[in-house]
Amino acid sequence: MTTGARGRLIVGLDLPTTAQAEKIVSTLGDDVAFYKIGYQLAFAGGLEFARDLAGSGKKIFLDMKLLDIDNTVAKGVENIVKMGMSMLTLHAYPKAMRAAVEAARGSGLCLLGVTVLTSMDEQDVIDAGYEYDPHTLVLRRAEQARAAGMGGIVCSAEEASAVRKIIGAEMALVTPGIRPVGADKGDQKRVMTPAQALRAGSSHLVVGRPIVMAPDPLAASRAILAEMDSALSD
């Protein structure tokens, strides 16, 4: 498992243009080694940008949340491996996960199963037609991800401690919805501070808006890294 805050902080480049993303990456410099690229930036030139960042030595978490028929998932994963990505998300459906694991076999790509989005609470899960509450659904999908041979799990830090007991010490446990003390929660409903999340068992923290929308992104990232280092040294 990755050690040290710099290897565990993933800055979410949730921005509308690659020009803005490039500015953030330049501003953060060597302090930040890991970036997440999701839908917003991916559909604005972000996939080529992700390839370029990986080529420059940065680690990239490609947050595509894949879900499709087995063959389509497998072929997509094969091409993402060629891009040099470090992490990739897919929804934690057993068949899709098994197809992705087989396609990524032998590569360095860490496949992450998305359990329940951190923007969803119990009513949202009920409205989506699931018979389980969010906590139960997260644990069930964590078990299925481990059985499928996935590299890790994405879940709320609120579930991190329980999930860690299921997946063991080696799998990655990536938590979005991280908000420093006093930060706006935005559309996130299940959140924790960086220190709380690490103590709960998270291995990697995804932090987007509290850094990229901060008046001073570098200062914001350094404050979060310092909080993480303090928690890791406890």
Within 8 A by CB and 6+ apart from 56, the residues are: none
According to the annotation, is 164 in a ligand binding site?
no
According to the annotation, is 72 in a ligand binding site?
yes
What is the C-alpha to C-alpha distance for residues 68 and 11, in angstroms, rounded to an integer?
A: 27
Within 8 A by CB and 6+ apart from 115, the residues are: 92, 137, 138, 141, 142, 145, 153, 154, 155, 159, 163
Q: How many CA atoms lie within 13 A of 211 on its CB side?
A: 29
According to the annotation, is 68 in a ligand binding site?
yes
DSSP 8-state class, residue 30:
G
What is the C-alpha to C-alpha distance for residues 5 and 32, in angstroms, rounded to an integer?
A: 10
According to the annotation, is 37 in a ligand binding site?
no
According to the annotation, is 118 in a ligand binding site?
yes
According to the annotation, is 66 in a ligand binding site?
yes
According to the annotation, is 234 in a ligand binding site?
no
Answer for the pair 228, 234: CB distance below 8 angstroms, yes or no: no
According to the annotation, is 30 in a ligand binding site?
no
According to the annotation, is 65 in a ligand binding site?
yes
* Active site amino acids: 65
Name the binding residues for substrate. 14, 36, 63-72, 118, 179, 188, 208-209
Name the binding residues. 14, 36, 63-72, 118, 179, 188, 208-209
